[in-house]
Structure formats: C-alpha cells, structure tokens
Amino acid sequence: MNAIKFINKSTIKLNNITYKGYPIGELPKRFAFIYNADTEQEGITEWFNYKGLTYVEHTPSFWSNV
C-alpha cells in the first residue's frame, strides 16, 4: 500500500521519495523530453497527476544549499 505524506502545499512524500507538484503552466523546462543534445541535459520523463498538480521527483541540487 502506498502512503502519501503531505510535506507542504505542493510537496509530497510517497514511499520515501519526495515529489514536487507543479500547476500546468509552471512545469519545468526539462518536462516531457528525453534528451537535449545541445545542452547534454536529460529531461523529465516520469510524472503523475494528483489533485490538479503534476508531480515530478524532487532531486535538489548540491549547489542550491551553498
């Protein structure tokens, strides 16, 4: 059974994985593409919708805490 824990209004924890929710107009630029050869960046290919938000796995950058 999957247990959902609400961290705040747009962040949830599902099976010990943190997901951030985005409204449809504020999705990240990496959303829904597989790979961009120009920037050598991988896109977000896995997501789910719940209660009006699109949730993607939240992986904070190492540099965001510095």
52, 22 contact by CB (below 8 A)? no
- Kindly report, residue by residue over 25-65, the tens digit of the pLDDT: 898 877 877 766 666 677 788 889 988 999 998 877 777 55
Residue 12 pLDDT exceeds 90: yes
What per-residue confidence (pLDDT) applies to 40? Answer: 66
Question: What confidence score (pLDDT) does residue 39 get?
Answer: 63
Q: Which two tokens stand for residue 44?
A: 């977000």
Q: How many residues does the chain have?
A: 66
48, 57 in Cβ contact below 8 A?
Answer: no
Per-residue tokens: 57: 């796995």
Tokens of 37: 């050869």
